[in-house]
Amino acid sequence: MTTLIITLSSASADLYDYLLSPDGRVVGEQSRVPLALLPQADNSIEVVALVSADKLSWHRVQLPRGTLGRRLFQEGGASRLRAVLEGLLEDQLLDETAQLHFALEPQASEDTPVWVAACDKAWLRSALQALEQSGRPVSRIVPEFAPDVLSDALYVTGEPEQAQLVLGNGGAVALWPLSKASVALLNWPETRPLLAEPAVATLAEQLFKRSASLQPVGQRRLQAIQSAWDLAQFDLANSSGARTRKRLSDSLVSLLRAPRWRPARFAVLALLVINLVGLNAWAWREQARITAQRGAIAQVLTSTFPQVRVVVDAVVQMNKEVALLQQASGAATPRDMEVMLAAFGLAAPAGSIPTALEFAAGELRLKGLKLKPEEISAIAFKLKPQAYAVSAEGDALLIKQGVAP
């Protein structure tokens, strides 16, 4: 996905450094322009705000137990956490804590000290609002340098007349002016990396008296957005979510209306039509198969029993005709009491003798049986293959013939 990185800094209130990357990993177009001339952020572009190192301060704190929870930014959790941070950082900050915006490190834990980024709340909110009003809503806010990115390296950035040192030492982030005094005070070991932007590489090598590895500004900014940091927390978390929802809504509208998505819309419509036709063809084929099976059953009935002229329910009619043949021949049928009693005798526990019998129309009631529920279930299971249904009715056991096994 195309990524537009816009740097928020105090260098110039009217100019913005931007980098347009086609995939978030390769440096593309970059420049410094007024707000109105920034690339337009359509629905295929993710806008990331990069907060410059000079606008952030970093602090290490130990959170009390119970500070972090599952609903950190819900149901007042954010307010409680911010109050805790204000109490912990009050002695470390020069500005009033109410005027600052705080952000915790990714996957913060109460077991170890955590990093907290702080910056001017009014400035950050104003910068984000300006971008949103210009049609470039920010989906993520990341620091230019973060503790997990520096990894004990020294960066020389800026222009020759305003060069700066960004130091990573033990995870901390420190910003120093580039000068002989700073270099002498740092006494940076030659074994540790020294990276410099091309504009200040020569000056850095002269002051440190060693070669510096070149790192273009664009490459460093792409490296910054690979970090898991997101400064859109606390009161900015909701606005960030609103911006994301708005972008999703705009994306949906564009997908439905934009000319460039017309081939995709036609493809989806064609796919739906093909599936609809396929489903109807499959349903027609299944219906034809069922109709053919019903016709075959009806043919068996009429060929076996020619006296049947009209077929309504072939299975029921065939069972009726078979029963009539059995009655005419005098043979016992599963609906006769003798057959039902014999089947019960084979399935019932030993000693199960009823005290009374009632038989009518293929239903046999046996009274006086003292059977347990599990015994009744066992009898029903054994008689089911013979098309008998067994159920308890008060103190009687009902056996009914004619249920499909």
Residue 145 CB partners (closer than 8 Å, separation 6+):
53, 155, 166, 168, 173, 224
Give yes or no for residue 405 having a pLDDT over 90. no
Q: Percent of the chain scored above 70 by pLDDT? A: 86
* Percent over 90 (pLDDT), the chain: 23
Report pLDDT digits (tens) over 197-226.
Answer: 999 999 999 999 999 999 999 998 998 888
The pLDDT of residue 149 = 66
362 pLDDT more than 60: yes
For residues 67 and 266, which has the higher predicted lDDT (pLDDT)? 266
Lowest pLDDT segment from 163-167, 279-283, 352-356, 374-378: 352-356
pLDDT recorded at residue 193: 87
| Residue boundaries of the structural domains of the chain | 2-146+227-257, 147-215, 259-328, 332-401
CATH of 2-146+227-257, one of 3.30.1330.10, 3.30.565.10, 3.10.450.50, 3.30.420.380: 3.30.420.380
CA distance 148 to 173: 10
pLDDT of residue 246: 53
The predicted pLDDT at position 253 comes to 57
Asked if residue 5 has pLDDT above 80, the reply is yes
Least confident range of 35-49, 256-270, 345-359: 256-270
Q: Please tell me the predicted confidence (pLDDT) of residue 205.
A: 93
Residue 154 and residue 359: Cα distance in Å, rounded?
100
- Going 123 to 127 to 133 to 139, the CA torsion angle's sign is negative
CA separation for the pair 354, 336 (Å, rounded): 18
Mean pLDDT of the residues in the chain: 83
Threshold 0.75, pTM exceeds: no
Res. 178: pLDDT tops 80:
yes
